[in-house]
Structure 1
């Protein structure tokens, strides 16, 4: 039996003895919450929150797109690397990161499994590697306001939501806490293969331009656009394109 492996969302990953296919506690709880949300909004919300997508970076101000930082950042793509979310150049032909060893954000919305959060918050998850396709939660670091990723244990103490989008179109913008407050921040100490500073993704939680946190670094306001993953397949939860979470099975008992 070929069984896929997805780790990183729940507290533990028990194995079902009869079938060899386990259930990830965190995923199961999140899916249950999400199905209820989808049922409530079935008529007004034709696009399920659990459809997988990439994230493209857009500079909304037309005048800034063609010069300086805007020229570098416009129509780039968000990738995950070293526990953080970064912005990298896009291969125009494939829509994937130009750097071949980079893993693009490839995720979806899922209710965050935390009984102490009331009301429950919609979280955001992404695969962080191709093989096995491990899932982690996206969160905003409480101290730095960087966008990072981790398992449930590493994310639960930070800002994990609520995530959403601006409308029902495929290229709708991502929101957090009901606002598009995302900033690209130039990380001078981290450089790409050409020696240029890399741009990391931050959230301006206090709406003050990262006052006290910017530390002289250059920043730019950006918009994050959803781009749906094509040819999504059915998974063990029985959901297809409208609700595809990309899960094929589990075979571990280890907590992560």
Structure 2
């Protein structure tokens, strides 16, 4: 099935055996991930998760305090921080899609092997896009392979094997929240390690941590990913251990 998919145009959407619509670029990532999937570390990185926000307690003052315990959503081609319903864990604004994704190898023969990050961008169809850092603005955005390949696509990772570990890019937490408009915060990465001084343009900026919240139960189908594995990845005992599930 995957071999047949690779012959399709990059602009076409296809349906994998588990019923998830994806672009060909993600299908290539699946093929690459299968090559790397022998070790438990790569398998656990295939677990699905949402992203919540943590702000250092010393920085939780004024409007910045509202960022704490927010959740990451995808709309208008960017990743945003929004208020989260404390009971459901979903965005308060039900029209905005929460990040719902996982790590997977990025397919590109012209760069060293790198771990990418994908997320569903809608429930119907449940289309997957690549998460990337814009090479010019440093804003976190999403697109298909052709739209992401010229930007910074990895390597994404995490701080530990814990369910609530934080996301890393190039081995460090350099994520920043930037107030694009009054009360509207977008995610950026401090690529130059200067507090985004060259990019902020007098906008308010604050450091944040992106905390993984592993997807379980009723959340799974609501946001476009099936419960058992990701796009053909079979859950192993190690994956079940990390996700808190038990084999029968």
TM-score, structure 1 as length reference: 0.77
Deviations 1:139-190 (A, max 9, x none): 11111100000011110101111000011000000001111000000012xx
Question: What is the distance in 2 between the residues matched to 1:108 and 1:219?
Answer: 27
Query: CA 1:93 to 1:212, structure 2 compared with 1: closer, same or farther past 3 Å?
Result: same
- 4+ residue runs over 3 A deviation: 12-16, 21-25, 240-243
Aligned partner of residue 122 in structure 1, secondary structure:
strand
Kindly provide the CA deviation profile for residues 69-124 of structure 1, in whole angstroms up to 9, marking residues without a partner as x. 4311000000000000000000001000011111000011111111111x211111
Is the CA contact (8 Å cut-off) linking 1:38 and 1:48 kept in structure 2?
no
Given that 1:13 and 1:22 are in contact with CA atoms closer than 8 Å, whether structure 2 keeps it comes out as no
Offset at 1:239?
Answer: 1.9
Q: Which position in structure 2 is the counterpart of 1:36?
A: 35
Contact 2:11 2:23 (C-alpha < 8 Å) held by counterparts: yes
Query: Does 1:49 pair with 2:40?
Result: no
User: Paired residue for 1:220?
Assistant: 206
Match in the other structure for 1:99: 93
TM-score (norm: length of structure 2)? 0.80
User: Could you say which structure has the larger radius of gyration?
Assistant: 1
Does the CA-based 8 Å contact 2:132-2:140 persist in structure 1?
yes
| 1:120 equivalent in structure 2 | 113
Contact 2:22–2:128 under 8 Å retained in 1:
no
| 1:182 partnered with 2:175 | yes
Tell me which of 183, 200, 208 is aligned to 2:186.
200
Residue by residue over 1:196-222, the C-alpha shift from the partner in whole angstroms, topping out at 9 and shown as x without a partner, is: 430000000010111221100000000
The count of residues paired between Structure 1 and Structure 2 equals: 217
Correspondence for 1:85? 79
Higher RCO, 1 vs 2 (CA within 8 Å, ≥6 residues apart)? 1
Aligned partners of 1:69 and 1:220 also within 8 Å: no
Instruction: Tell me, in whole angstroms, the C-alpha distance in 2 between the residues paired with 1:120 and 1:185.
Output: 30
d(CA) in 2 for partners of 1:46, 1:123: 12
| Alpha-carbon distance, 1:29 to partner | 2.7
Q: SS state of the match for residue 158, structure 1?
A: coil
Pair 91,137 (structure 1): closer, same or farther in 2 beyond 3 Å: same
In structure 2, the CA distance between the partners of 1:46 and 1:116, relative to structure 1 (3 Å rule), is: closer
Matches within 5 A, 1:101-250: 101-117=95-111, 119-188=112-181, 196-231=182-217, 232-234=227-229, 237-240=232-235, 242=239
- Aligned residue for 1:87, secondary structure, equals strand
* CA separation of 1:186 and 1:15: change in aligned 2, threshold 3 A: closer
